[in-house]
Structure 1
Amino acid sequence: MTAIRDTTDQKNLALLIQLRWLAVIGQVITILFVDLVLGIPLPLFEMAVVIGFLVALNVVGLVRLRSQGLVGNTELFLELMLDVAALTVQLYLSGGASNPFIYLYLLQVIIGGVLLEAWSTWTLLAATSACFVGLATFNRPLPIPPQNSADLADLHVQGTFICFVLAAILLVFFVTRINRNLRARDAHLASLRQQSAEEDHIVRMGLLASGAAHELGTPLATLSVILSDWQRMEMFSQDEEIAAELAEMRGQLDRCKTIVTGILMSSGEVRGEGTRRTSVINFFDELVEEWRASRSPARLDYNNTFGTDVSIVSDDALKQVVFNLFDNALEASPNWVGIALERRGDRLTLSVTDAGPGFGKDILDQLGKPYNSSKNRPGSGLGLFLVVNVARKLGGTVTAKNLLNGGALVELTLPMATLSPEGVTDASLPG
């Protein structure tokens, strides 16, 4: 939450800098108009010094933004106080409280009320009020030419109108941008809350899967012992058909035990065996071959154009994520699955294509949400949910779209930096 607040304050500081540029331009135009058009002499040198101060303040602010440092309430308060000081000097040089532009103090107070904490806003209000009172007594009167003396009231009304228009324009600009910043912050907060809820859901699923794997371990071991005894029995071993069925049962049982072991690994039970050093090409080549052998798709087209191999640290959770993509494609398109691996800059992209009916619009709009599936069975819709969240944890993305000629394409993109031996840490790996 603090990081979000800091980011918002940085945007607000950038907005103050933009407003100050507008104020500098407005002051230059107003000063030249009054001095050259109305013929009212002004202390141009002193006023130019104040404008130069505002420009220098903006340059410092821009450097400050580029440093990516944290911006807090105190810094924004000091920025506004310096703006008040510069306005006060300009008003002192041009008639003090009689200058219609004195109402620009209200603009500073409104900006402070939106950006600052309560104590800072009240302090700013007290400072501007004190400056108003002080300018009523201490100021440099404007030398009004005799020809303009009769029209002094009209000049004041005109100046007040110009001040009103200027303040209104700046307020609309300011409030519009502030609302945009606040909406962006609220949207980011909502996204973080959603991400936190999804990660909590994954944790609970992981605990459930780990508990189920532990519970399944004992009956699977018992079945393994019984099958071993049956295979040694003469009455079964001499019957070729029964012996073949027992061998098939033993193979399926071993596969179940492998799946249970994989669940325990991905949940952190056997972390030392869950990760290993390999390379991108080796990892995906072996993974595709293992999936082909276990699923036996009717046709599988695998195209690896990654190029120069790169060392990575593989994780069983990443393997299960990729298997989920393959399984979803095979279920939608039993006769053909296309897999392509390529490198795009510093990221690897795994594309999985099928010839199935494609995704529904509601599924594409809510891609990666739990239980978002067209399959009408309990627990469906968790595959892509896990894929999206694991990819996000690794700094990657998952996109899906329907193809014009039928079928669907799902792309998993991962930064190689998070998979490299130097970039992978216990915190960065899923599970």
Structure 2
Amino acid sequence: MAHTHAPPQDFGSGRQSIPLRTLIMLRWWAVTGQLSALLVAQYVLGLSLAFGMCYFFVGLSIISNVTAYFIFPENKRLSQRQTLLVVLFDMLQLGVLLYLTGGLNNPFSILIVGPVTVSASALTAGSTIFLGGMAILITSALTRFFMPLTTQTGERLFIPDLFLFGNWVAILIAVVFLGVYSRRIVSEMYAMSEALQATQMALAREQKLTDLGGVVAAAAHELGTPLATIKLTSAELAEELDDHPELRDDALLIREQADRCRDILRSMGRAGKDDLHLRRAPLSALLEEAAEPHLNRGKDIRFEIVADIAHEGAQPTVLRRPEVIHGLRNLIQNAVDFSRNRVWIDSEWTDRTITVRIMDDGRGYPQHFLGRIGEPFIRRRAPRPDPQRPEYEGMGLGLFIAKTLLERSGADLTFANGSDDLRKKETYAERTGAFVEVSWPRSSLETDDQRGRQSLGDNQLIQG
């Protein structure tokens, strides 16, 4: 089953986390450069340095890279704190190497600016200020404390104090300037991206309201004649029933309600009607809406509630967020596409979390792609089409969009195949295919209690 076909806070706190694989690749380039410089210094320039200590600290970076590669999955994304620790480690390791190789007399000392630039581009302002301060502190210490560059004849290599001071000032300026510059550029790009996203959502909402207004206008047009007839007939009945007050009151009530229906249709047609029903729904209704386009595609889609309502409480009422619906819809589509006959959509909740599981009875994810599910364009061209889905040549973009949208809503996603433990349970025996678990904190998906209990109230006329 080739499923691969398929944030007023600091701006850094709401951006996407950094893929660990990207940092590992960049660090390999840094290690390669450090080893090359040491080898040239030792065998070409003939310098006499503490090469054993230098190779030891380079080796620490190699060990940390290899360890991270084998311990964490390929699609691991680092949190802000984790990224800060990695960048801080690299800065301290570079500082030690500079201490062992001449301090600011070493022309490579300018590289201390690199981690600050990375932080300005990817981390919060607080993290960038911290790393900038560390870079300035390390650079200042290296003006006084370092092991001198020495040739094999014992000659020590120094640059004049004026140039040493100039290097220190240049690095300070670079740290401040590049940090501020990088952060400003990335901040502008992020703000533009958020503005475009907000615009798209506003346009989508406007389109929905326009469509709703059109439907209501058509309904008002079609219902105009029947309502007019009811109003006219009830008025005539009221005149003829003067001698029967009770029946006359009933006729007047009919006329009043016909007028109310007319006013409601007019109000909804003019304003698009921001009904609370359009903004929140029970969890099961949200899942059914997400699955609706795929209910008639020849596969049996089953909705099951796993939670014990007696212990966990009533079904939560959640916000109908477009990104959540679209993300779940992509996951359900993927399951329907590659299932044999059946798809299960389980919902579960506790007092802290809401969990949705999507399973099928297909062949599951290819084992060699499990670690990279959720990345776009990860599929190599197959030698022949998938017999289950010959018309579809996706490259993981659908799952990437689903994963990105759901993670932005605060969800954690887990991708796996039906395990042996799952098959041992009688009710889960058929669920042999792909397994996707989407889990949210209730605070990020559920409506607040006051709003959840709010009465919808009467339809209010809009005064023109």
TM-score between the two structures when normalised by the length of structure 2: 0.39
TM-score between the two structures when normalised by the length of structure 1: 0.42
